[in-house]
Structure 1
Amino acid sequence: MTELLKQAISQIEKLSDVQLDAIATLILAQLQDEQKWDARFAETTDEQWDRMAAMVRQAIATGETRYI
């Protein structure tokens, strides 16, 4: 366990049960979201990455970079 996580847990332990449940809900949701993103990235094919890179290159070349 990292020192930063130890500090966070030390502070969290001082909270009420309601606050603890709220933090636990946030942490679990974040972990689930990370797992979903990891799975989506793992499923992305080289062809899809190549298409996205081409789109970015085109946007940069045409100056349409406000959404990149």
Structure 2
Amino acid sequence: MTELLERAVAKLKTLPADEQDAIAAMILEELEDEIKWDSAFARSQNALAKLAAEAMAEHRASQTQELDPETL
């Protein structure tokens, strides 16, 4: 465990049980979301590669336009 995480856990231990549970639930939910995202991203590599190839082909065919972040 990292020093920062150890400090966070030490502070959490000083909170009332209901607040500890609320924070623990948020952390567990965040970790579960991260696992789901990683899994979805891993499964989408072929689709992402295909989209990237299509975008590059459009760019090479001068079918794209430069994006100006100032106009967003």
The 4+ residue runs of structure 1 with deviation greater than 6 A are none
**Structure 1 unaligned spans of 5+:** none
Q: Which residue of 1 aligns with 2:24?
A: 24
TM-score using structure 1 length: 0.74
Q: Report which of the two structures shows the higher radius of gyration computed on alpha carbons.
A: 2
Q: Superposition RMSD on alpha carbons, in Å?
A: 2.6
Secondary structure of the structure 1 residue equivalent to 2:8:
helix
TM-score using structure 2 length: 0.70
Q: % of aligned pairs identical?
A: 38
For 2:33 and 2:52, locate their aligned partners in 1 and report how far apart those are by CA, in whole Å: 22
For 1:40 and 1:49, locate their aligned partners in 2 and report how far apart those are by CA, in whole Å: 14
